């Protein structure tokens, strides 16, 4: 018998990760406004979360009066019987067994209304919504064209699907057009799969041009609105709404865990697509449904967020301010992603590219010593050699918070 552990290879991988400075762990004790408090009771201004509208920071999910109060439609309260039936919070089973409640039903209906689609369905997470939807809808005989910088949940869905797939260079519409011109005839259906807002670069997919190319070649576009929902568009409908292409993009995926401040994912689209997912999508069928409590909370935000233009405008103005000021003061070793449009300038994800993993971690640590939490994002989340600080802004931040961060970055070199 060998005295080697059967898990030696895991230990070796972890050691390698540590030596590359990529091993991660942070325990957050609490969140208070725009601050987080670590397990060591250190209070840090939080630029790491995706609470873009400040729903979590401001405790909006619990507030039912005041200027940005959540509206609770009478029918939702009546049908759900209020909050007292939510004491036991688990759904206890998957949606098709007995985990789907009136809270889920109301949430899905509210999402469909907000998205202007025939129907919607709610998943236990955004990851499950993205990966499961692609794996289910993109079938054998189909072709998937997937942006090179798509989120892991989309990539995993593509890998699990029986469709053929091609990866196109980031936002390269000409390449999509070329592939379709050459290969459209080989496939029953073609899906162009893209993030709306790219989570690590804070740029946006060229949806107008993709829509034009998709129309020319009879292709479907599937957009992940994880970082657009609530943040973009006059009613918070996401990038598709901001670009006025909602009607052209039949299937839209989103998450309830970022601007909506809760947990879970959703898919909005034609009734036949949603019904098909409900019956065939493995990440929905084989996973316990979202907790009813979460569904009820997310429902309140979804029905309120169309009115939160002040929050949208505030967070966008902070992003513009940070982007404009940071280019003038960044030490030479860093670079910023230059926005290509007015819309991109207001996206609340502002990456500062450092390059080297260890250096990115060191800078993140030094910012932490100065009271700012800005995570260092390293491979495999981003491509090799592009480790970065990812600054994530929230409507709960104030201008002086952002200026404080800029001063802290300036002082590090």
Q: Tell me which residues touch ligand PMP (CB under 6 A).
A: 125-127, 130, 151, 153, 195, 199, 224, 226-227, 255, 257, 265
Closest among 74, 80, 151, 112 to 349, alpha carbons compared: 151
Residue with tokens 């169309």: 306
Q: C-beta of 406: minimal distance to ligand PMP in Å?
A: 25
Instruction: Name every residue whose Cβ is closer than 8 Å to that of residue 358 and which is 6 or more positions away in sequence.
Output: 20, 21
Alpha-carbon gap, residue 297 to 89, rounded angstroms: 12
Alpha-carbon gap, residue 410 to 330, rounded angstroms: 6
* CB-closest chain residue to ligand PMP: 126
Closer residue to ligand PMP in complex, CB, 180/305: 305
Closer residue to ligand PMP in complex, CB, 294/408: 294
Closer residue to ligand PMP in complex, CB, 151/300: 151
CA 221-224-230 angle, to 5 degrees, is 125
Q: C-beta of 227: minimal distance to ligand PMP in Å?
A: 6
User: Are the C-beta atoms of 366 and 331 separated by less than 8 Å?
Assistant: no
Closer residue to ligand PMP in complex, CB, 126/237: 126
Q: C-beta of 399: minimal distance to ligand PMP in Å?
A: 26
Closer residue to ligand PMP in complex, CB, 153/291: 153
Q: C-beta of 287: minimal distance to ligand PMP in Å?
A: 12
For 116, list phi and psi in degrees, rounded to 5.
70, 35
Q: C-beta of 225: minimal distance to ligand PMP in Å?
A: 9
What is the token pair recorded at 68?
A: 């940005």
Closer residue to ligand PMP in complex, CB, 134/243: 134
In this structure, the number of other CB atoms found within 10 A of the CB of residue 202 comes to 25
Q: C-beta of 366: minimal distance to ligand PMP in Å?
A: 25
């Amino acid at each position: 018998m060998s005295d080697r552990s059967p898990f030696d290879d895991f230990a070796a991988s972890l050691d390698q990760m540590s030596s590359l400075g990529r091993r991660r762990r942070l325990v957050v004790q609490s969140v208070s406004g725009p601050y987080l408090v670590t397990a060591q009771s250190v209070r840090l201004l939080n630029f790491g979360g995706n609470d873009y509208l400040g729903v979590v920071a401001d405790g909006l999910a619990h507030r039912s009066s005041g200027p940005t109060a959540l509206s609770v439609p009478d029918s939702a309260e009546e049908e759900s019987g209020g909050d007292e039936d939510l004491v036991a919070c688990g759904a206890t089973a998957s949606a098709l067994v007995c985990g789907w409640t009136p809270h889920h039903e109301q949430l899905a209906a509210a999402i469909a209304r907000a998205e202007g689609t025939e129907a919607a369905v709610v998943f236990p997470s955004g990851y499950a919504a993205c990966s499961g939807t692609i794996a289910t809808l993109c079938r054998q005989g189909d072709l998937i064209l997937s942006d090179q910088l798509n989120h892991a949940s989309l990539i995993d869905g593509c890998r699990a699907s029986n469709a053929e797939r091609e990866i196109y260079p980031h936002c390269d519409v000409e390449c999509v057009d070329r592939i379709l011109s050459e290969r459209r005839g080989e496939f029953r259906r073609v899906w162009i799969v893209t993030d709306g807002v790219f989570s690590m670069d804070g740029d946006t997919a060229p949806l107008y041009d993709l829509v034009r190319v998709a129309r020319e070649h009879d292709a479907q576009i599937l957009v992940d609105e994880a970082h657009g929902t609530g943040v973009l568009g006059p009613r918070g409908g996401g990038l598709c709404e901001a670009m006025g292409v909602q009607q052209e993009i039949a299937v839209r995926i989103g998450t309830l865990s970022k601007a909506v401040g809760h947990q879970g994912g959703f898919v909005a689209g034609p009734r036949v697509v949603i019904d098909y997912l409900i019956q065939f999508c493995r990440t929905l069928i084989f996973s316990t449904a979202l907790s009813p409590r979460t569904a009820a909370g997310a429902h309140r935000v979804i029905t309120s967020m169309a009115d939160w233009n002040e929050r949208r405008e505030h967070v966008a103005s902070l992003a513009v301010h940070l982007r404009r000021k940071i280019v003038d003061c960044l030490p030479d070793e860093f670079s910023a992603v230059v926005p290509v449009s007015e819309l991109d300038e207001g996206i609340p994800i502002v990456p500062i590219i450092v390059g080297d993993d260890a250096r990115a971690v060191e800078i993140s640590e030094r910012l932490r010593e100065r009271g700012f939490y800005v995570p260092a994002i390293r491979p495999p989340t981003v491509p090799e050699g592009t480790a970065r600080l990812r600054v994530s802004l929230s409507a709960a931040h104030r201008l002086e918070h952002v200026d404080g961060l800029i001063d802290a970055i300036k002082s590090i070199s």
